[in-house]
């Protein structure tokens, strides 16, 4: 965000109680570059709960009024320190929203109101609880929503083999992310390898081949299986693993 100009776009997929979005706002408050936050969730209940308990939770301090406006109006413009912010909240079915706006690459924007993202925070419930948010078709559409000349980084808490295979098959470069909470490792993905500090390597690829839970979900029904022959061939051909 420091290295460029113009609006910096963050897709916050899984707004929940707004912890990720508020973390971005705090980190960006000393920058003059305009920030556009685009949050998605199929419920506003966690956000309403966090506002009802803001004093106890603590982490919303300083952003309560903005969040109340976002909750009621689904859009707000405000000054966040030095950074002007536009924040949109899309309440509804994210896979369906993305499918409706899934273009054929290359693209410069998805929808008239949302530019292609520079960063994606992916924080959906787990595949077992919410499989519709973890399918290969969804991540294919998500990758298509990126501008090929706009580097974009995706971060998420999951480190599952199935999910990492899904990202790779969708077109992303994938690597190991930093620890968070009780997790020793997370996952990062990007549309350019330069944004991946610790890329998955051949050793990981061999472990994925032996895993009993590696084949991506093709539809919104959770299941576990080993890699198919076709998926294995596609992984081997991915430029991340071709020397």
SS (H, E, C) 123-141: CCCCCCCCHHHCEHHHHHH
So what's the pLDDT on residue 67? Answer: 98
Distance CA 159, CA 201 (A): 14
The region of weakest confidence among 61-65, 94-98, 107-111, 238-242 is 107-111
Instruction: Say if residue 243's pLDDT is above 90.
Output: no
Instruction: Give the model's confidence band at 72: pLDDT under 50 very low, under 70 low, under 90 confident, else very high.
Output: very high
Q: What is the pLDDT of residues 148-177, one digit of tens each?
A: 889 999 999 999 999 999 999 999 999 999
Instruction: Say if residue 66's pLDDT is above 70.
Output: yes
Instruction: Say if residue 207's pLDDT is above 90.
Output: yes
Domains of the chain (ranges plus CATH)?
8-200 (3.40.50.150)
Compare 112 and 193 and report the one with higher pLDDT.
Answer: 193
Q: Name the nearest CA neighbour of 154 among 192, 185, 180.
A: 192
pTM here is 0.93
Give Cα 114 to chain centroid, integer Å.
15
SS3 147: coil
So what's the pLDDT on residue 188? Answer: 98
The region of weakest confidence among 68-82, 105-119, 133-147, 156-170 is 105-119
φ and ψ of 183, to 5 deg: -85, 130
So what's the pLDDT on residue 181? Answer: 86
Asked whether the beta carbons of 108 and 1 are under 8 A apart, the reply is no
Distance CA 171, CA 168 (A): 5
Compare 7 and 109 and report the one with higher pLDDT.
Answer: 7
Distance CA 150, CA 59 (A): 31
Instruction: Give the model's confidence band at 105: pLDDT under 50 very low, under 70 low, under 90 confident, else very high.
Output: very low
């Amino acid at each position: 965000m420091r290295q460029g100009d113009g609006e910096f776009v963050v897709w916050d997929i899984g707004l929940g109680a707004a912890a990720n979005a508020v973390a971005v706002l705090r980190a960006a408050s000393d920058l003059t570059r305009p920030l556009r936050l685009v949050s998605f969730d199929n419920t506003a209940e966690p956000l309403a709960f966090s506002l009802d308990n803001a004093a106890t939770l603590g982490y919303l301090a300083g952003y309560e009024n903005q969040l109340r406006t976002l909750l009621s109006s689904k859009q707000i413009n405000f000054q966040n320190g030095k950074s002007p912010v536009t924040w949109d909240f899309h309440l509804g079915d994210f896979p369906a929203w993305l499918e409706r706006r899934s273009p054929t690459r290359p693209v410069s924007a998805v929808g008239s109101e949302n530019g292609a993202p520079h960063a994606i925070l992916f924080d959906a419930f787990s595949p077992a609880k919410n499989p519709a948010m973890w399918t290969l078709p969804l991540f294919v559409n998500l990758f298509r929503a990126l501008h090929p000349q706009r580097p974009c980084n995706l971060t998420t808490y999951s480190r599952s083999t199935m999910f990492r295979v899904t990202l790779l098959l969708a077109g992303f470069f994938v690597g190991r992310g930093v620890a968070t909470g009780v997790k020793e490792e997370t996952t990062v993905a990007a549309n350019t390898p330069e944004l991946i500090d610790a890329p998955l390597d051949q050793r990981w690829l061999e472990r994925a081949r032996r895993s009993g839970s590696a084949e991506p979900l093709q539809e919104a029904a959770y299941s576990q299986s080993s890699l198919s022959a076709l998926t294995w061939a596609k992984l081997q051909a991915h430029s991340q693993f071709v020397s």
